[in-house]
Amino acid sequence: MGRAEQWAPRWEGDRVELLVPPSEVVEALRELLALGVADVIVEEAGLDEAFLDLYRNGQAEGAAP
């Protein structure tokens, strides 16, 4: 799936869920369309996902939890 691997893909049958940062949504949609995706739903991340993303980014930058 190319770059989509960095968007934490979660597979369920023929369905995949990606956690795409807001700044990369347009790029993600372009890549998905190039793959022939038939249906796309865009939802804002919930509070738990936003917190986990913040924590992951902090860990990647070496910040203390």
| Per-residue pLDDT band at 18 (split at 50, 70, 90) | confident
Give the number of other Cβ atoms within 10 Å of residue 42's Cβ. Answer: 8
Greater confidence (37 vs 59) lies with 37
Q: Kindly report, residue by residue over 47-57, the tens digit of the pLDDT.
A: 887 777 777 76
- Please tell me whether the overall predicted TM-score, pTM, comes out greater than 0.75 for this model: no
Segments in the chain forming alpha helices (H): 25-34, 47-60
DSSP 4: G
